Structure 1
Amino acid sequence: MKKIVLAFSGGLDTSFCIPYLIEQGYEVHTLFVNTGGISISEEKHLSNRAIQLGAKKHKNVNVETKLWDQVLVPLIFSGALYQNRYPVLCSDRYLIVSESIKLCKKLNTKYIAHGCTGMGNDQVRFDTSINALGSFNIITPIRDIQNITDNVRDYEINYLKQRGISVSSLHKKYSINENLMGATISGSEIDVWKAPKAESYVLCNLPEDYPKRTKKISIRFDKGKPVAINGTKVKGPELLRHLNKIGGKYGIGRSVFASDTIIGLKGRFVFEAPGISILMTAHRALEESVLTDKQNHFKSMVGQEWVNLVYRGFFFDPQREDLEAYLNSSQIKVTGDVTIQLEPGKAEAIAVDSKNVLISAEGSYAQSAKWSDDESKGFIKLLGQSTSTWAKLHK
């Protein structure tokens, strides 16, 4: 019997995959990769669920620290968002693939399966990543059944019921993906461009429950990396979890987004990323103060390219590492403390304290300067020389 590794989430799709793969002649080994979205007790429930569904063995692995180091830190360094809106909360998929490949190698099998449909972005991220990491046979049960039915969800439910498997707990109004980075919510009224209902709030408070008073916090960065809150050193995952909690109270980082997807369709969903929103606001305020104008300009282009690669499935393309080499270099002087003021729906950087702030002894903007009036006129003349020359020739 051929061994196969199934990336297991415990939802309807991957629950369907286990008996389906068994009936196709595979010995199924399930793997749940915890990227910060569930508790230990929920992990145990997933383990039991996988075995009950027929998995030969099940394994849980926590990759929160890897997610922080490999995705969140470069994301903060990039200062970029997909379509200037979305903080690529989908990036944990790459760690799921990486851990699944590790298990395949341990089991000495070339067969790997996932529960992605043929209707979304994740199939691209999974398949492209698997192919980048070796030569494996990718089995996709959900895409398989799309060849025989137009209603995949009902087919899965009936398939499981016919085999005596309970599905009531798997049927939910919304599809919610939560990890250390934040939460994405889709389904129901969100999919049809209607206003999201109160039940769609996961990490963020409802607007009527926002605190009435503002709150100030201080975040310290060391070479671009967030390392402390209010003077207390905190490890990355715990730091972000703390910011998600306090930022969520103010509704920071929640947005309704109509994405230009990889497969060419518009995909509408809600995302909540309070911690990332706060960190990127603070980090940007520090960068604006300590980087040169040339660095700030060019780095924004590098950061945007990094985000686009990651969103579109190319996490394992060597270009990502090339871009990260520049991003890492750009952060050498990005050290200091930023004071953030939290208010309903907004995080504002109100103070920066760093010995690396580019304050010139030659002058203070709009206040004072050591250069003369003639020097200003000469600078302006040379700066506009090309434009004025064109005007004289063509007007």
Structure 2
Amino acid sequence: SFARPLIAKRQVEIAELEGADALSHGATGKGNDQVRFELTYQALNPKLQVIAPWREWDIRSREDALDYAAEFNVPVAATEKSIYSRDRNIWHLSHEGGILEDPWMEPERAMFQLSVDPQDAPDEPEYIEIDFQEGIPKKINGVAHGPISLLETLNQIGGKHGVGRVDLVENRLVGMKSHGVYETPGGSILVEAHQALEQLCLDKETLHYKEIVAHKYAELVYNGQWFTRIREALDAFVDVTQRTMTGTVRLKLYKGNIILVGRRSPYSLYREDFATFGEEDVYNQQDAEGFIKLFGLPMKVDALLNSEGVRRGPEEPDYSKFKRD
């Protein structure tokens, strides 16, 4: 989803450099990508016209697109026998079309390109450590990487163990459902590690609210609303939450599974001396009694009002008996 605004942004930049008056994309008239491309065009240069062949020409199916490519000698990887619609970038590889249009059908083993079948993955698990600095992954097993190298390395490691496969029926923005299979080995590892660190370093209220924000952020990106003020505002919120997101996460990769086995941070809010069930001096367990009574007061009042002879009907109280300051 977030690849389209980047591609479209570059399209607009090149069009302006070349003095072009129109842009074109190859998205179908049924999917989300047409929206993502064209919302970006509108946000960055609404004066450019849009040419969308799937909506304007006689291309109505992938078979039509293959015929067009053959007629004009356009080299394409897809064939009648392997007619998957694939989209690959450094983050993931998506597969749609072909037998996947029937969600009952199991994907073919030969379809996958970034990850081995978990059954064929190594019989021994592999441990990896990822170091984060203010929310940004910086090292793998103590070795520093730039962002591209880091993701490429995690794709290779994760793919070897068959992790990051997702079979998803999604709700397209245009109103219909679609079925796709995704390979995201490196991204899946990073998400698991980052969430583990956030559990350690964020307080309860911030962590819970960030989970709410994450759903809204994902919706904006999915719907192509990248170049919007609300996305920028949510970025500002996330930036604040990442100030203390520094530490190391240890994971075990085994036959399609990403297993969290360790995490540490100088900003950890977890304190063993606070959480222990043994004897300690930082927490008086007798204090819990008053907290429970106050926390449960609404439930207690409701129970009393519902008990026999207590709840009275819609009578107005006699406010004259109340004291006033």
TM bucket normalised to smaller = 0.7 to 0.9
Mean Cα displacement is larger for which, 318-327 or 127-136? 127-136
Q: Contact conserved, 2:164 with 2:186, CA < 8 A, in 1?
A: yes
Structure-2 change in CA distance of 1:170 and 1:200 (3 Å): closer
Matching residue of 1:343: 254
Post-superposition offset of 1:366: 3.8
SS of equivalent residue, structure 2 residue 182: strand
What is the match of residue 92 of structure 2? Answer: 182
2:226 counterpart (292, 315, 319): 315
Question: Which stretch of the first structure deviates more once superposed, 324-333 or 198-207?
Answer: 198-207
Q: Name the structure 1 match of 2:83.
A: 173
Question: Which residues of structure 1 form unaligned runs of 5+?
Answer: 1-89
Contact 1:254 / 1:271 at 8 angstroms: preserved in 2?
A: yes
Structure 1 residue runs of 4 or more that deviate by more than 6 Å after TM superposition: none
Amino acid across the alignment from 1:186 = E
> Are 2:108 and 1:197 aligned?
yes
Partner of 1:295: 206
Contact 1:185 / 1:270 at 8 angstroms: preserved in 2? yes
* Aligned match for 2:34, one of 120, 123, 129: 123
User: Relative to structure 1, is the Cα distance of residues 393 and 340 closer, same or farther in structure 2, using a 3 angstrom cutoff?
Assistant: same
Match of 2:23 in 1: 112
Matches within 5 A, 1:312-391: 312-360=223-271, 363-370=274-281, 371-391=283-303
Give the match for residue 310 of structure 2: none
Distance 1:168 1:387 in 2: 65
Match of residue 312 from structure 2: none
What amino acid maps onto 1:294 in structure 2? E
User: Mean Cα displacement is larger for which, 341-350 or 352-361?
Assistant: 352-361
2:166 corresponds in structure 1 to 255
| 1:153 Cα deviation after fit | 3.5
**For the Cα contact (< 8 Å) 1:157–1:167, is it kept in 2?**
no
SS at 1:102 equivalent: helix
Q: Percent identity?
A: 30
SS in 2 for 1:363: helix
Q: CA-to-partner distance for each residue in 1:4-32, whole Å, 9 max, x for gaps?
A: xxxxxxxxxxxxxxxxxxxxxxxxxxxxx
Number of equivalent positions: 302
Q: For each residue in 1:41-90, what CA deviation from the matched residue of structure 2 results, as whole angstroms up to 9, or x when unmatched?
A: xxxxxxxxxxxxxxxxxxxxxxxxxxxxxxxxxxxxxxxxxxxxxxxxx3
* Counterpart Cα distance in 2 of 1:374 and 1:215: 46
Q: 1:235 to 1:142 in 2, by over 3 A?
A: same
> Is the 1:291–1:358 Cα contact (8 Å) retained in structure 2?
yes
Q: By how many angstroms is 1:313 displaced?
A: 1.1
Shift of 1:187: 1.9
Paired residue type of 2:236: A
Q: Is the 8 A contact 2:173 2:223 kept in 1?
A: yes
Partner Cα separation in structure 2 for residue 329 and residue 295 of structure 1: 10
Q: Determine the C-alpha separation between the residues in 1 that align with 2:286 and 2:61.
A: 75
Q: Which amino acid aligns with 1:390?
A: D
Measure the CA separation in 2 of the matches of 1:225 and 1:162. 47
Amino acid of the structure 2 residue aligned with 1:380: I
- What is the RMSD of the two structures over their aligned residues, measured on CA atoms? 1.9
Distance verdict in 2 for CA 1:305–1:242, change over 3 Å: same
- The answer (yes or no) to whether the contact 1:186–1:270 under 8 Å persists in 2 is yes
State the distance in 1 between where 2:66 and 2:84 align: 16
TM-score of the two chains, using structure 2 as the length reference: 0.87
Alignment TM-score, normalising by the size of structure 1 = 0.72
